[in-house]
Amino acid sequence: MLTLPHLLQNTVQAYGRRRAIIDPAGELSWNEYLERVARTAGLLRGLGLAPGHRFATLCRNSVRHAQLLLAGFWAGVVPAPLNFRLAPAELDAMLEDAGCGAIMADEEFAPLFERAPLSRWRDRVVLVAAAPASGALPAMDALLEASPRLAAHESRENDVALLLYTGGTTGRGKGVRLTHRNIVANALQLARVMAPGPDDVYLHVSPMFHSTDLKATVVTMFGGGHVYLNEFSPRSVLEAIERNGVTIASLVPTMIVGILKEADPRSHDLSRLRLISYGTAPMDEQWLRKAMASFGHVGFHQCYGLTETSPYLAILDEAGHRLGLDARPDLLRSAGRLLPGTMVRFVDDEGRDAAPGEPGEILVGGPQVADGYHNRPQENATAFRDGWLHTGDVGRLDQDGYLHILDRKKDMVITGGENVYTREVEAVLQRFPGIADAAVLGVPDAKYGEALLAAIVPAGAPPAPEDIIRFCRDHLGGYKIPRRFMFVEAFPRSPLGKIRKHELRDIYLASGPA
C-alpha cells in the first residue's frame, strides 16, 4: 500500500535502531521516534480530530513540527501547515477555507490569536513549546502525558494526506490536496536519482509549510536521519552541516548565493556532505558555477516541480551538471530529465500539441499529480483537465530529453505581436557586470500592447540604460531588449526566493515611466 503510515512502519521494521532524529535535545532512533509519533496521533484524536478532519500547524522547522505532521498521517488526520510570514487576515482565510479543528502553534505566534481576526480561533490553539512561558493556552507536552499510543489508521492510497497552500507570487493561496499515493509515489520516483541510504542525514532548511520539504520523504523511506534548522542564515547552515554530519542539504538559490556572499564553505568540515539539492526558482549560471567550485566534491541537483506534483517532475542530476560545466552550458539552465512515470505534453493556447522541440504550455500526468484544489471547483476545472495538470509553465523538451522551462505563461510578454520569454532576457542581463540581479516583466504600452521593463538591482552605482541596451544587442534580438528600466535596492520575494513580479509592476506603474 502506498500510504505514509505503511511507509513509516516499513522504515521501522528495516531500520528501527538507526538514527531518525539528530537534535540538540538528543538523538532518537526510528523505534523511539515512531513511539512519539503514535502518541502524538493519540493527542490529535483527543482534540476531537477524526480521520479526514484537518488541523493547522503554525510552526518553524523543528522536530516537534515534523512529529505533528507524521502524527497526522498516522491518525488519518490531515495537516495544513501554514506560512507564519502571512498577515493575520491571510491566515484567517486559510483556516476558514481548511475548516481546521485545531491549530498547533509555536509560542512566538500565540499573540496573533489575541486580536481579530484570529481571536475567533483562540480556543482551538495548542502551543507546541515544551514548556511555554504562559499557561494561558494548553501545551503539547501536558496533553501528550495523558494521550494513549494510537494504532495506525488504515488509510487508503487516494485519501488526502496533506493540505498545502500554494505560496504563489500572485493572488490568494489555494489549498492543494495531496494524497498518500501522491507523496509516496514521488518519493519512489526520487529514489533512483537521490540514491538515499540509512547513513544519509538530511538538513531541513526550507520552511516546512512548503512542498519542498516533502523531498525528505525518500530519506525516511530508506532509514536516513533528519536535522531541523528553524531559521536560515549562511553561517548556521554550514555549522549545522559540519556539526551533524549532514549528507544532503535542500536549499533554494537565494540561500546558496547568501552562503557564497557571507560565508566560506571551505572554512568548514563538509566532508560528509554529498549532495546539495536546489530548486523553486532558477539559479543564475554564474552563481551556480561559483557554488559548484566552492563546495568542491559536493554534487548538485536542480529540482523542478510544483506543489500540485508532490512536488517534483524533473531533476537535473550530477551528471547533467557536469555535462553543463563543459560541453552543454545550456543544461545548467534546464530542469533536467523527467522522473520515471512522469508524462508531459506541450500545447498552444488552443490546446493543440506543439511540434517536437517547440515550446508550449507544459501539461503533466503521473502518480504524483494532486487530487485537486480544496473548495475551488472553478480552478480545478481549469487546471485539472482530461487527466492532465495544466502547469502554467511554458517549456520544451530537447532532443536529448532535457526539459527547458522558458517562462511562466502569465509572465511571457507579447510585445508588438512577438512572444518574449522573460527568463531568457534575465539570463543575459545577469551577465552584465554592473547588475547584481534582474527581473523582466511586461507593462502596458500604447504602441506595442506591452513593453519590456527591466527591474534591476545594481552592483554598485546604477549602470546607464544605454550601456545595458548596447550589451543586450550582442545577445538578443531587438524586440527582446528592454527599453524601460527601474532600479531598486532589492526585489520583493516569496519565502522561498521567488520574485514577486506583480509587486514590481505595481511599483513601476505607481511611479510612472522612468
- Pairing of β 103-105 and β 54-58: parallel
- Pairing of β 435-445 and β 449-458: antiparallel
Answer whether 294's CB lies under 8 Å from 266's CB: yes
From the list 426, 415, 399, the residue with the least C-alpha distance to 501 is: 426
Rounded to 10 deg, the angle between the 422-429 and 465-473 helix axes is: 110
Beta bridge partners of 136: none
Question: For 508-511, which contacts have Cβ atoms below 8 Å and span 24 or more sequence positions?
Answer: 508/443, 508/453, 508/455, 508/484, 509/443, 509/444, 511/486
Mean pLDDT of 289-301: 95
Sign of the C-alpha dihedral, residues 504, 507, 513, 514? Answer: negative
Q: 44: which residues sit within 8 A by CB, 6+ positions away?
A: 55, 71, 72, 75, 77, 102
Answer whether 224's CB lies under 8 Å from 33's CB: no
| Residue found by looking up cell 557564497 in the block | 260
Phi, psi of 336 (to 5 degrees): 85, -155
Average pLDDT, the chain: 93
Q: 425: which residues sit within 8 A by CB, 6+ positions away?
A: 440, 452, 454, 472, 476, 480, 481, 482
pLDDT at 429: 94
Class of domain 413-511: alpha beta
> In 36-96, where do the E strands start and end?
54-58, 78-81
Q: How many CB atoms lie within 10 A of CB 145?
A: 8
pTM over 0.95: no
SS3 470: helix
pLDDT band at 231 (very low <50, low <70, confident <90, very high): very high
What is the spatial distance between Cα 47 and Cα 24, in angstroms, rounded to a whole number? Answer: 29
Mean pLDDT of 361-383: 96
pLDDT band at 494 (very low <50, low <70, confident <90, very high): confident
Q: How many CB atoms lie within 10 A of CB 445?
A: 16
Q: Where are the domains of the chain?
A: 337-408, 413-511
CATH code for the domain defined by 337-408: 2.30.38.10
pLDDT at 69: 98
CA distances from 82 to 24, 167, 207, 211, 309 (A): 25, 10, 10, 11, 18
Helix (H) / strand (E) containing 501: helix 501-511
Rounded to 10 deg, the angle between the 285-294 and 253-262 helix axes is: 60
Q: DSSP character for 230? A: S
CA distances from 32 to 16, 17, 41, 73, 487 (A): 8, 9, 15, 17, 54
From the list 419, 474, 388, 497, the residue with the least C-alpha distance to 169 is: 497
Region of poorest pLDDT, from 181-185, 211-215, 256-260, 416-420: 416-420
pLDDT at 116: 94
**pLDDT tens profile 62-119:** 999 999 999 999 999 999 999 998 889 989 999 999 999 999 999 999 999 999 999 9
Q: Above 50 in pLDDT, residue 453?
A: yes
Tally the residues of the chain.
Answer: 514
Answer whether 203's CB lies under 8 Å from 212's CB: no
What is the spatial distance between Cα 13 and Cα 443, in angstroms, rounded to a whole number? Answer: 58
Mean pLDDT of 213-238: 97
Q: How many CB atoms lie within 10 A of CB 513?
A: 12
What is the spatial distance between Cα 105 and Cα 256, in angstroms, rounded to a whole number? Answer: 29
What is the spatial distance between Cα 448 and Cα 271, in angstroms, rounded to a whole number? Answer: 55
Sign of the C-alpha dihedral, residues 125, 211, 201, 109? Answer: negative
Sign of the C-alpha dihedral, residues 364, 365, 366, 371? Answer: positive
Q: Above 70 in pLDDT, residue 475?
A: yes
Mean pLDDT of 252-261: 91
Bigger pLDDT: 130 vs 405: 405
Q: Where are the alpha helices (DSSP H) in 276-414?
A: 285-294, 318-325, 377-383
In whole angstroms, what separates CA 43 from the centre of its chain?
A: 29
Sign of the C-alpha dihedral, residues 186, 189, 193, 195? Answer: positive
pLDDT band at 514 (very low <50, low <70, confident <90, very high): very low
Please report, in angstroms and rounded to a whole number, the separation of the first and last CA atoms in the chain.
59
Region of poorest pLDDT, from 35-39, 179-183, 494-498: 494-498
Task: Work out the percent of the chain whose per-residue pLDDT is above 70.
Answer: 96
